[in-house]
Chain A
Amino acid sequence: MEIKEIQQEIVEEFSMFDDWMQRYEYMIELGKSLPLIDEKYKTDDNIIKGCQSKVWVHAELENDKLVFTADSDAIITKGIIAILIRAFSDQKPQNIIEADTEFIDEIGLKEHLSPNRANGLVSMIKQLKLYAVAYQTQLN
């Protein structure tokens, strides 16, 4: 599936929830089921700066697609990463670079997009895109 389609799917899933409680409970569930990063990649080098909780991201090229794995020590953050990874992982780097992130707003997680240093969603998206740029350069 293309990034846009996956994002639409996520938006539809979240639209079923009536209130923030259900949205957050779902996010926490997603966080718990996040495919974990290999322990060997949980290094300081792989920590995303700018998050109050620790976030590790690892990217690997499989065929011509970029696969992300990640982890965090905070469960809500893990939920956010799970959503991002679902949208961006296993995609061609160029598509990741070009993808927009408006769906975050649409699923009612806009507060996580604030430049407040307490949450690192903005840094996370930036990091995923940076990986994509790096691997795209490599492919070229």
Chain B
Amino acid sequence: MLDVQKIRKDFPILKREVNGKLLVYLDNAATSQTPKQVMDAIVDYYSNYNANIHRGVHTLSQEATDKYEAARHKIQNHFNAAESHEIIFTSGTTHSINLVANGFSTLLEKGDELLVSAMEHHSNIVPWQMLAERTGAILKVIPMNLEGELLMDKYDDLLSDKTRLVFCNHISNALGTINPIEEIIQKAHGVGAAVLIDGAQAAPHIKVDVQKLDIDFYTVSAHKMCGPTGVGMLYGKEEWLNKLPPYQGGGEMIAEVTFEKTTYAELPHKFEAGTPNICGGIAFGAALDYMNSIGFEAIAAYEHELLEYATQKLLDIDGLKIYGTAKNKTSVISFNIEGIHPYDIGTILDKLGIAVRTGHHCAQPIMDFYGIPGTVRASFCFYNTKKEVDALVAGVKRAVNMLL
């Protein structure tokens, strides 16, 4: 069992006050807070070995290159990728998905089919819509039920020898549903389709083994797992990454350049044009070290306890409805109260020092499915406490009293 009071000491921001109240931070699905171990890695980088990587012969450049590549190895080990060059540093999940979507422009033909789940974040919809427009491929949607679970029999019906790609999140940011990705992947592979799993919401909660799950592409944002913003990764199987053309041209990604012809660098550099977010990559590695020092099993068990506790307490409030009641879900609770707009509740909660997300959570199709303008979303991290859940519940009750 993890020691939450000890862990909270690692996060300086949890001591700050907002509107005169001690911060209760429950917007972890948007971004997680940063422990001092990760901040130390950032300060260490800029204090001791800030330099451009892969090119310099001087000591600082070599040290920075070593640490950056060591971070890549940490990420490889964490996700159990077969090769370190299957880990591509990106600016985050959105960048990762766009890289793959862009690459598939050259691999698709008119009439090819792409399957997307009904519960995707806009970042796992729009790049594929753009791809479909460019190539004449057809985008089809795997529907879900009212609990927020994908209809796997409908998925079976949609799969065919025309299916080229399936993309689905591992965990829904708006509903918390943990999708059965193993089954999704196996079935897609059965028809020869590749699968991209958006792991932005899963990586902070679950230790993922990309080889065991036979994942083709997996995307992660560091800032949702105690790392900094502006850095993330794309895992891609070597055979797929070799098939995709480079995404951006520039320095770092070339083997030889003449005005007649340029040859591209090997993986992973082929996809890493320009000076990367060096410090960010190193801090991403530090964030993984931090989370692994706590342990993903302990994190999952504790967060599940928080989820159960919060669900039960919130459901005691009259008129409160939770969206996303999948049997298998993570510590995200999306809810509304009858007769009250989510924005109003979020505004009052902020006045009480409680940070939640309100709105459509970049998943408008989900809101349309339920026929609502948005929800209030409380998302819990391993540093949250039951006392904070109590503060949320009291805050919601107070908001209801003011607003109704």
Measured CB to CB, the residues of A under 8 A from B are 20-21, 24-25, 28, 52-54, 73-77, 118-119
Contacts and interface: CB of A to CB of B under 8 A. Distances in A.
Contacts, number: 43
Contact of B402 (A25, A54, A118, A119): A25
B209 interface: no
Interface of B: 19, 340-341, 343-344, 346-348, 351, 358-359, 373-374, 402-403
A77 B343 contact: yes
B31 to A, nearest CB: 15
Contact of A76 (B19, B343, B373, B374): B343
A52 B344 contact: no
A75 B358 CA distance: 15
7 contacts: A24-B351, A52-B374, A75-B340, A75-B344, A75-B403, A77-B343, A118-B359
B402 A24 contact: yes
Nearest to B360: A52
B403 to A, nearest CB: 6
A33 B344 CA distance: 17
A53 B373 contact: yes
B351 A74 contact: no
Given A73-B373, A74-B344, A118-B343, A28 B358 contact: no
Nearest to B357: A118
Among B341, B346, B348, the most chain A Cβ lie within 10 Å of the Cβ of B341
A120 B343 CA distance: 11
A24 B19 CA distance: 14
Nearest to B401: A25
A76 B374 CA distance: 16
A20 B351 contact: yes
B359 A28 contact: no
Contacts of B351: 20-21, 24
A99 B351 CA distance: 29
Contacts of A52: 343, 358-359, 374
